Structures are given as C-alpha cells and as structure tokens.
C-alpha cells in the first residue's frame, strides 16, 4: 500500500484549481456523489459552457469557505496529479489567509450570480437564485456543534478523494495524517460533518461515533447531516 506511488504534501495557495476539480467531480456533477448545482441551474437558459462555468464557480465558492478556515491541509498526489485532499481547522488562526480565501470565494459566487442573471433576462419567469446549498450545511453544522459541545475540539473541514484513486485506502490514510496532526497539537479528539449525499458509512466503518444529526432544509440539500467524532 505504501509503495503504490501516492505521496503526500502540504496544501498551498496554488492548489485551488485542483481542489475545486475534486469537489466539482464529487458534489457538483450528476456522475458524482451528488449535484449541489442542480437546484441553482434548474430551468436556467444556459449554454453548456455557461453551465460548466456556473458549476465550477459554485464549487469554488464552497471550497474557499473551507480554505478560509483551514489551519492545516494535505494533498495526495498520484503521477503528479492531486487525487485527494484533507483540510482541517482548530490548531491556530490565520486571519490573512481567511480574508484572502473569503475574497476569492465571494468573487466566484458573484460571477456565478451574474451568469444566472443573464439567464433570468432570457427567461422572464426564471425564479430568483437560491443561496448556495452548502450554506445549509453551515447552518446545520453550527446547530450540531453546539448540541454536541464541540467548541474546543479541532475539526476535519473537507475530505475528498478522486474516483481514480479509490482502492488505495486513501481516505483512511488522509484521515490518519489529520489525526496525527491533531495529536501533535495536544488534541485528544476531533470531529467532522458528513451527510447522506456522501459516503457516511465510511466513518462508521472506521469506528467514529455519531454525535449529532440534523435535517437538511434547503431545496437540493442532503436529507440528513451527521457529526462524527473520534480519537486523535
């Protein structure tokens, strides 16, 4: 397993496009685990290129929300390509990075809204765009964090692996690196959020404990969100 050609490196600011590509394939595509852009694009009179642009911009907005809170992150590379990432929060603060990623995310969202506005001009009856679906997870996460009393514990913000890297145990290996990072900083436990649109049984298979759950409320959002916790 360790000689399978996968190597790990710290995430840098130049990795945004690769991380967005992973997120787009996993959560913003009908061929992935889910399509969080489906609600925003429903009924929109967009060309194929415009739809691809909006989808990538929406994924960029979400990824930047994680990068804005990132205090540590690792990417997995296979044959020079980024095939997995893990992003965590809780060991220190970086206001400058948070502001930078926040600006990039806001710009991406504004660009997506402008493209959808053009579609509304072509389709007079097209409804006003809904807020990004990932904001439903933000709302649910805050409620579950308070319910489970997790204020002082570090968190895994994002764990995503490409389809081409499956079978390498990569999700488990990335999570193991995060646990080691938390332990080096004195944390005894950590937590993460997943949902019914993701491979949530993966965390139960690893022995993590479900600490809270919450229903999705926005159109296009997952049916249920879960908080899992584990030992660092």
Query: Distance between CA 139 and CA 127 in Å, rounded?
Result: 23
pLDDT in tens, 77-95: 999 999 999 999 988 778 8
CA angle 7, 76, 186 (to 5 degrees): 95
- Per-residue confidence (pLDDT) for residue 232, from 0 to 100: 92
pLDDT in tens, 55-74: 899 999 999 999 999 999 99
Query: 225 in helix, strand or coil?
Result: strand
pTM here is 0.88
- Per-residue confidence (pLDDT) for residue 43, from 0 to 100: 63
- Per-residue confidence (pLDDT) for residue 107, from 0 to 100: 96
- Cβ pair 140, 118 in contact under 8 A: no
pLDDT under 70: residue ranges of the chain: 1-3, 30-36, 38-40, 42-44, 122-130
- Cβ pair 28, 36 in contact under 8 A: yes
* Edge-to-edge strands, sheet with 224-231: 6-10, 72-78, 81-89, 155-161, 189-195, 224-231, 209-215
- Per-residue confidence (pLDDT) for residue 205, from 0 to 100: 94
CA distances from 167 to 10, 161, 193 (A): 22, 11, 23
Query: Distance between CA 103 and CA 110 in Å, rounded?
Result: 10
Query: Distance between CA 146 and CA 140 in Å, rounded?
Result: 10
- Per-residue confidence (pLDDT) for residue 119, from 0 to 100: 76
- Per-residue confidence (pLDDT) for residue 125, from 0 to 100: 52
- Per-residue confidence (pLDDT) for residue 54, from 0 to 100: 86
Domains of the chain: 6-231 (3.40.630.30)
- Cβ pair 222, 190 in contact under 8 A: no
- Per-residue confidence (pLDDT) for residue 166, from 0 to 100: 79
């Amino acid at each position: 397993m360790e000689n399978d050609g996968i190597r790990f490196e710290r995430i840098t600011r130049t990795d945004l496009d690769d991380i967005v590509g992973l997120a787009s394939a996993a959560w913003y595509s009908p061929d992935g685990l889910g399509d969080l852009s489906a609600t925003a694009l429903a009924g929109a009179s967009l060309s194929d290129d415009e739809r691809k642009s909006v989808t990538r911009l929406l994924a960029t907005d979400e990824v930047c929300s994680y990068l804005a809170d990132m205090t540590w992150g690792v990417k997995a590379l296979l044959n020079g390509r980024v095939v997995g990432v893990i992003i965590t929060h809780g060991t220190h603060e970086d206001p400058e990075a948070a502001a930078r990623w926040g600006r990039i995310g806001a710009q991406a969202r504004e660009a997506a809204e402008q493209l959808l506005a053009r579609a509304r001009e072509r389709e007079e009856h097209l409804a006003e765009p809904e807020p990004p679906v990932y904001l439903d997870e933000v709302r649910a996460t805050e409620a579950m964090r308070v319910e489970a009393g997790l204020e002082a514990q570090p968190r895994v913000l994002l764990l995503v692996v490409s389809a081409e890297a499956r079978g390498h145990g990569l999700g488990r290996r990335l999570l193991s690196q995060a646990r080691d990072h938390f332990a080096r900083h004195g944390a005894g436990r950590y937590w993460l959020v997943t949902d019914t649109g993701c491979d949530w049984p993966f965390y139960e298979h690893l022995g993590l404990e479900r600490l809270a759950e919450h229903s999705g409320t926005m159109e296009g959002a997952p049916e249920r969100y879960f908080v899992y916790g584990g030992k660092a």
